[in-house]
Structure formats: structure tokens, C-alpha cells
Structure 1
């Protein structure tokens, strides 16, 4: 099945050849990143023995086997483990963002949590997870699959902070301009499960933990042999937390949040002592890492090579304001087409990371969208001067911001197409209504769940200028 489900619609608009090229690269890259197939490639059951990569476990020595999962790629990750274990599984709980009709589980209950803002369903599922852990013991095995988005989906604030407090805080943080590290420094330190607290609970009852993760953290190195245990696993509910209470307090100060966050959270973080710090090491746990942020660009470059297209990985550290990133990409295309710097056209430019959109006043919001869509719109404005150039910017897990689309795709004809429909793209950026603008010109990208979660994937096709252009 194709990952990009509305490709036919996308190809009825704009520059057909450029869009077709970019869509093919994106689709084949997402196929390679699908966590269901990644897990099944290293995990299998041989009689009573569970094999994961180079490690194995005799399940006759285990009383109960539990599967927990949370994240935007959790559907595919949890399904893979559920399918491998079959009747060996005692019970599973998976907290997902979107429950697809094609999801099929044997012994796993699926809860649709809230993302980017937590919700009551995710909260109740998290409390069930805590209850199961508390009644477990040394003979039990926990297999936990985690991808990006788990901080919101597996939401369970500490005593004294309500779910509504956490929802309000998340909303403020996401609009503050803070990076994901700063945001997580606060979210992890007010959680009963995140920031390694789930692993600590499992450790406290003496049970064994196997963690399988996808890391969307900017700066994590590319994966190697995914069948070998990963010793540098960090953060999320099951790994040691790299952020500190001091980081959380610094975020409040640096982004002037003391009067914008709920008072219960500010007070808790201000007064928290060493006993409220998140755990920093779990040497006895076994972790496997399926994919990291640089992998998407690496796989995309391999796909380009198979298609006979020169490709350059610009960066897997892309951060900052999304609309600025779109404008920069268009300016780089213009440099390549005009002067051949830093590479000659035709070529493909690849980048990944996590751009953000700063919204200081929610009253400015007149529609829907997300960073990928804003990047695509800003590219469209500047790319009118770059004949044939095309950019696809998506959140690789399948949803971008407040819209149920993965992102957007625009090219050198998109500005003109918008103007023909009476759409002012500058106004769409100001009012954060880029979904409505892109949808009107057939330039949203719809995937549904992709089975991965590696933040942003940006693909730019740069054709050579024709003679006389």
C-alpha cells in the first residue's frame, strides 16, 4: 500500500514532473521506515524462546508478559509485538494518536490519547498501566514500545497537578517558541510516567524491561545494527532522562512563562527537591533502537540514488521558525539554479529536524495547520522565482499540527494557483490557516499512520533551468 494516499489528487495540480519525483522519494522512504517491518525483521518466537536481534529470553521463566506502548508510531510498533507473541501475551495497552481501521491486535487494548494536547482517555490508560505495574513482580516481563508523542499520549501528572493543568501547560509551551528539549524538561518533571518514571516503577517491583524505541530527538546519531541492544538509550517513559529540574526552571525563566503556565506547575517545579528529579540510569534494562532522526534523510538519499538523482543531505538538525525555513529553502534553490552553488541542478535537497511555529497570541489563529504546512506555504511564495522547484514538508508520522494531514507540497506554480482562487498566502501565514490554503489548491499531503515518527522530513527537487530561462 502506498504511504501517500492522496498522490493522485496532488498530481492534478502544479508541476506534474517535479511533484511526481518528490512524492516517489517520500513514499519509498516512508516504506523503509515502517516500524512494523523493522520489528518483525529482528523479533520472532521459536517455541518458548523469544528472540530479538542477538538476544533471547526463555518465556517459561516468565509468569506474565505485558506490552505497553505510546507514541505516534505506536500502532505499527505494538501490532508487530502483539503479532509475534500471540497467546504468549498476557495483556497489552497501546496509547495511539489515531486508531486506523486496518489496525489488528490479538490481546492489546487500544486507547486514543490526545496529541499534541493530552486528553482524558490517555490519562485513564496511563493509570491502568501504573496499576498493572504495581501488581507485578520479579517473574514478570514488560515489553514497552515508544515513539515520539508519548509525552502527551501517556499523560499522567504527579499528585497536586491536574490533567487540565498539564493540558494548559502543553498548549502554552507549544506556542512559546521553546524547542522540544526545553518543552520536555517541564513535561517530564511533572509526570508520573514520563522522563523514565515508567521504567523506575518497573524497576521498583523487580520486573524485567525490554524497551523498543524510535528516537525523534535532534542530534541522536543514525542507527546501526538494530538487532544489537542500544546502550545509549535516553528519555521517554522507559529510558534515563537527560533533562533536569534546573533545565525545567530555566525554560520557565528564558521564555518568560512564570505568569503563563498554571500556578500549580510553576510552584511544583520551583520547590521540587532532589527526590523529584527524574532517573538518570537504567543499566539492567535492554533497549533496541529502530530508527533515529538522521535515518529518514539517509534512506531518502538511497532512494534518490536508485532513481538516478543526485541528492544532498543539508542537515538533520533543522530547527527554528518554519516559515523562515521555507523561505531559505527557496533561496537555496535559486542559488543552485542560477549559479550551481553548492551543487549543480538537477538535484534533490534533503533535511530533517523539528521546526516550530511561534504563536504568542491564540487570537491570531483563524484556521488550522502546522509547521510543515507553514514551511510549504512560505516556500511557495519565494519559489515563484525558481521554475519547476518543488518542496514536500511533512511530519513523518502522518499528522502536522492541528490538521489531520502529514504536511504540504508546493512548487513554483503554487503562488499563482492560490492567487487564482483568491487566496492570500501571506495572510494564511499570519493567521495560521495554511491547511485551508493548501487544501484549496490540492497541496496537502495525507498519509494516515505511517508506522514511523522521525519529526520533519523535507524533500526539495531542483530541476535545471531550461535554455533562455
Structure 2
């Protein structure tokens, strides 16, 4: 089954050859990243013995086996574990962003949390998970499946901070221009779950924890053998946290948000003592890292080269303002087609990372959108003179910003097609309404849940210039 649900409509408009090349590579890349298949490739149950990679556990020695999880790829991860464990699973509780028709579980309760802003359902699910943990003993085993998005989905603020306070804080920080490390510094230090606080609670009960994770953090190295326990696992609710209380305080000062976030949050962070710091190590836990952010580009490069296309990975550290990145990629496409730098056309240029969109005034918003759609809209504005150049940018888990689509794909015809439909892409960028603009010209990319979550995946194809 193709990961890109509107594949046929996307290749029926614009520069069809360029779009087909990009969409075929993207489809195959997402298939290879699917965590359901990756977990099943290293996990099996033989009688009472659970095998994960090079490790094994005797479940007959466990009183209860619990499955807990959250994240934008949690659906697929939890489904794999739920199926493998069968009747050996005592109970499961997971929090997902989108529940789809094929998300069927045997012994796992599913809650649809809020992302990027927390919601009541996620809060209620966290209370249920904490109830399991608080009643656990040293004879219990927790298997946790976590991916990006868990910080919002697994919402459970510390006492004294309300859910509404957390929602407002998250909204302000996300729109402040802060990077994801800075955003997490705030979120993790006002949570009972995030930044390793859930793992700490399990540890205090003496229960065992096995964690499956997908890392969407910019800077983590590619995965190797995923069956070997990962020693440097960090972040999310089940691992140690690299951010500190001091980091959180610095974010408030740096982005001057102390008057825009609830006073309860400011007071808590500014006055919290060392005992409120997030945990920094869990040497006794066993973690398996299923995918990391650079993997998407590595797999895409392998696929493109098998198709006989020259390919380079430009960077897996892409950050900054989305619309600026779109302009940058357009300028690279011009250089490639005119002068053959840094690679000769026809070629594929890949990148991954996490670009962001700064919105300091909500009154400017007139529509919906997300970073990947803003990137491709900006690319469309700057690329008309580069014949056949095409770029796709998606949030690899399947939803970009506040929209139901994964991102966008634009090419050298997009701006002209928009003008014919009466769509003003310039205005859409200024008012953060790129979803409506791209949808109007058939340039939105729809996947639904993909089974992975490695932040942004960007792929650009530049054909040879006619006559050169």
C-alpha cells in the first residue's frame, strides 16, 4: 500500500515526471521506516520467553506485563507489541495523535491526545498510566513505545499548574521562534511525565522498563543494528533528559515570554529547587532505538541511487525559518541546473531536520498551515525559472502543523497554476494559510499515519536544463 494516499492526483498535475520521481522515492523511504515492521523484525515470543534483538526475558517471572506509549508513530509501534505479546499482555494504554480504521488492538486502550497543543484526553490517559505505575511492584514489567510528539500527547502538568496553563504555555513557546530543544526545556520541567519523569516513577516502584524509541532529535547519529540495546538513549518520558531547569529559565528570558505565559508556570520554573530537576540517567533500563532522524535521508539516497539518479544528502541538521529554507533550496536548484554545483543535474538533493515558523501575533493568521507547507510554498515562489525543478517537504509522521496533511510538493509550474486559480501564495505565506493555498492547486501531500516520526523529510529533484 502506498504511503502517499493522494499519489495519483499529485502526479497528474504540474511537472509530472519530476513529481513522480520524488513521490516514488518518498513512498519507498516511508515504507522502509515503518516502525511496525522494524519492531517485528527484532521481536518475538517463544512460549514464555520474549526475545528482543540480542536480549531475552522470561515472562513467567513477571506478575504483570504492561504496554504504555505515546507519540505520532505510537499507533504502529504499539500494534506490533500488542500482537506479539497476545495474552501475555496484562494491559496497554497508549496516546496517539490520529486514530485510523486499521488501528485495532487486542488488550490496549487508545486515547487521542492533542498535538501540538495538549488536550483533556491526553491528560486523562496520563492519569490512567500513572495509576498503573503507582500500583506496580518489582515483579512487573513495563514495555514503553515512544516517538516524537509524546511531550504534547502525554500531558500531565505538575501540581499547581493546570492543563489550560500548560496549553497556553505550549502555544506561546511554539510561536516564539524557540528551537525544539528550548521548547522541550520548558515542557519537560512542568510535567509529571516528560523528561524521564515517568521512568523515574517506574524506577521508584522497582519495576522493570524496556523502551522502544524513535528519535526525532536533530544531531543524533544514524541507527546501526537496532537489535542491540542503545546505551545513549535520552529524552521522551522514558529516558534521561538533557535539558535543565536553568535551560527552561533561560528560554523565558531569551524570548521575553514571561508576560505571555501563565504566572503559575513562571513562578514554578523560577523557584523550583534541585529536587524538581529531571533525571539524567537510567543505567538499569533497556532501550532499543528503532530509527533516528538521519535514517530517512540515508534510505532515500539508497533508493534514488538504485534508480540510477545522482544523489547527495545536503544536511540532516536543517533548522531555522521554514520560508527561508524554501528560498535557499530554490537558489541551490538554480546553481545545480546552471553550473552543476554541488552536483550535476539530473539529481536528487536530500535534507532532514526541523524547520519552524515564527508567529508572534495570532491576529496575522488567516488559514492553516505548517512548516513543511510554508517551505514548499516559498520554494514555489522562487523556482519558476528552473525548468522541472520540484521539491517535497513533509513532516514524516503524516501531519504538518495544524493541518491533516503531511506537507506539500511544489515545482516550477506551481506559481503559475496558483495564479490561474486566483490563489495568492505570497499572501498565504504572510498569513500562514499555506494549507488552503496548496490544496487549491493540488500540491498538498496526504499520508495519514506513516508508522514513523523523524521530523521533516525534504527531497528536491532538478532535471537537466533543456538545451544544455
- The alignment's TM-score, normalised by the length of structure 2, stands at 1.00
Secondary structure at the aligned position of 2:294 is classed as helix
Shift of 1:12: 1.8
- Which consecutive residues of structure 2, in runs of 5 or more, have no partner in the other structure? none
Q: Equivalent residue for 1:75?
A: 75
Q: Equivalent residue for 2:363?
A: 363
1:30-71 CA-partner distances (Å, limit 9, x unpaired) = 000000000000000011100000000000100000000100
1:289-333 CA-partner distances (Å, limit 9, x unpaired) = 000000000000011011111110000000000000000000000
Partners of 2:385 and 2:257 lie apart in 1 by 41
Partners of 2:81 and 2:321 lie apart in 1 by 37
Displacement over 6 Å in runs of 4+:
none
Alignment of 1:126-275 (within 5 A): 126-275=126-275
- The alignment's TM-score, normalised by the length of structure 1, stands at 0.99
Partners of 1:354 and 1:425 lie apart in 2 by 22
1:196-252 CA-partner distances (Å, limit 9, x unpaired) = 001000000000000000000000010000000000000100000000000000101
- The reply to whether residue 380 of structure 1 matches residue 385 of structure 2 is no
Q: Equivalent residue for 1:42?
A: 42
Secondary structure at the aligned position of 2:384 is classed as helix
1:322-380 CA-partner distances (Å, limit 9, x unpaired) = 00000000000000000111110000000000000000100000000100000000000
Partners of 1:306 and 1:37 lie apart in 2 by 22
Partners of 1:33 and 1:302 lie apart in 2 by 13
Q: Equivalent residue for 1:393?
A: 393
Alignment of 1:331-342 (within 5 A): 331-342=331-342
Partners of 1:174 and 1:280 lie apart in 2 by 25
Secondary structure at the aligned position of 1:385 is classed as coil
Alignment of 1:297-376 (within 5 A): 297-376=297-376
Secondary structure at the aligned position of 1:448 is classed as coil
Partners of 2:148 and 2:12 lie apart in 1 by 33
Secondary structure at the aligned position of 1:4 is classed as coil
Deviates more, 1:73-82 or 1:459-468: 459-468
Partners of 1:448 and 1:342 lie apart in 2 by 34
Partners of 1:311 and 1:169 lie apart in 2 by 41
Partners of 2:344 and 2:309 lie apart in 1 by 11
1:169-219 CA-partner distances (Å, limit 9, x unpaired) = 110011000000000000000000100001000000000000000000000
Q: Equivalent residue for 1:437?
A: 437
Secondary structure at the aligned position of 2:383 is classed as helix
Partners of 1:384 and 1:327 lie apart in 2 by 12
Shift of 1:386: 0.7
Shift of 1:385: 1.4
Alignment of 1:270-309 (within 5 A): 270-309=270-309
Shift of 1:260: 1.0
Secondary structure at the aligned position of 1:164 is classed as helix
Partners of 2:123 and 2:307 lie apart in 1 by 46
Shift of 1:282: 0.3
Q: How many aligned positions are there?
A: 468
Q: Equivalent residue for 1:410?
A: 410
Partners of 2:25 and 2:333 lie apart in 1 by 18
Shift of 1:423: 1.1
Partners of 1:259 and 1:382 lie apart in 2 by 38
Partners of 1:262 and 1:391 lie apart in 2 by 40
Partners of 1:145 and 1:445 lie apart in 2 by 27
Partners of 2:103 and 2:134 lie apart in 1 by 29
Partners of 1:412 and 1:47 lie apart in 2 by 58
Q: Equivalent residue for 1:7?
A: 7
Q: Equivalent residue for 1:93?
A: 93
Q: Equivalent residue for 1:117?
A: 117
Q: Equivalent residue for 2:108?
A: 108
Partners of 2:66 and 2:337 lie apart in 1 by 55
